[in-house]
Amino acid sequence: MAGETDTGFDRTLFFTVPDRDARGRLVRLGPVLDTVLGAHAYPVPLRNLLAEALVLAALLGSLLKDQDGQLTLQVQNSEGVVDLLVCDYRAGELRGYVRHDRARLDELGPNPSLHALFGEGFLAVTFDLAASGQRYQGIVPLEGETLAAACESYFFQSEQVPTLIRVAVDCSGPQAIAAGLLLQHLPDGEEGRERLHARLDHPEWDHLAIMGGSVRRDELLDPALSLEALVWRLFHEEREVRADRGPQLVRGCRCTSDYYRQVLARFGEAERREMANETGAIVVDCAFCSRAFDIVFDDLS
């Protein structure tokens, strides 16, 4: 199996099983997850929810061939206990945020279901391709018990690609850990070729799904088990498995004073005066990193 051994946190591992026309991704988050979760005092159920969403963003985002492209996962429901969940991935940068009603959340108890948190919500998966300027979006009902199940539905309904996703989360200890596996069947192993569509009884996919589905929670979360070793454990009976390390993952909040100044400069002077406080500064809060920026324009001083 080609590729360097991947032993650390906050990396993706790409792998293919050529004889089965399959590709996969593995990710295990550690310090980056702690940084994102630490921006807000999230209750435990929301720490677990956001951790799962960040793993999914890393898994799906790592499928992008456009290195400057962006993958965004978003669930929004104005009537839900959680009215907004958004995560995105771009070139190894991850960020995410959950907005919620704390009083209503406390009424749900320690282990609320996905439906209890969101109600009748929908998951939007958006791929923005920087090279071509194109945007692809799929929206699926937020059905099932996990966000991972909803992402599987996205690939089946929108992409017609048989996909298996497994995610494990442990936010109970001093360091939060979350990890995931994505496995897909692509006939002939090439994009643009005819896909399986509804033929989910294909024997090669059935075999792969059984092998990938056997992964255990403790295996995904065990930092002593490298991602490469985990791929080998799952697929060692295959004639060939190829693996390559993906990009290092970092917390990717892209907020800066210069960026917000450029955005606010698009508004007229009168509009900016309405936004400004008594000192003449326009205060912009970044929900992702929980930082506030005071932006001052000369014409407001």
- Residues 135-161 have a mean pLDDT of 90
What is the homologous superfamily of the domain 11-251 according to CATH?
Hsp33 domain (3.55.30.10)
Q: pLDDT for 208-245, tens place per residue? A: 899 999 999 999 999 999 999 999 999 999 999 999 99
Q: pLDDT for 162-179, tens place per residue? A: 999 999 999 987 889 999
Three-state SS annotation for the chain: CCCCCCCCCCEEEEEEEHHHCEEEEEEEECHHHHHHHCCCCCCHHHHHHHHHHHHHHHHHHCCCCCCCCEEEEEEECCCCCEEEEEEEEECCEEEEEEEECHHHHHCCCCCCCHHHHHCCCEEEEEEECCCCCCEEEEEEECCCCCHHHHHHHHHHHHHCCCEEEEEEEECCCCCCEEEEEEEEECHHHCCCCCCCCCCCCCHHHHHHHHHHHCCCHHHHHCCCCCHHHHHHHHHCCCCCCEEEEEEECEECCCCCHHHHHHHHCCCCHHHHHHHCCCCCEEEEEECCCCEEEEEECHHHC
Give DSSP secondary structure letters for 226-238: -HHHHHHHHHTTS
The pair of structure tokens assigned to 53 is 């969403």
d(CA 136, CA 246): 23
Amino acid identity for residue 184 in this structure: Q
pLDDT of residue 24: 96
Considering only CA atoms, which of 59, 101, 71 is closest in space to residue 83? Answer: 101
- Domain extents for the chain? 11-251, 257-300
- Residues 16-29 have a mean pLDDT of 94
Residue 169's contacts (CB-CB under 8 Å, 6 or more residues apart) are 48, 51, 52, 55, 176, 177, 178
For residue 183, the cross-strand partners are 24, 164
Amino acid identity for residue 5 in this structure: T
Q: Which of 55-59, 150-154, 201-205, 231-235 has the lowest mean pLDDT?
A: 201-205
The pair of structure tokens assigned to 66 is 């456009």
Q: pLDDT for 255-298, tens place per residue? A: 667 766 777 778 888 888 888 787 777 777 666 666 666 777 77
The pair of structure tokens assigned to 161 is 């690609």
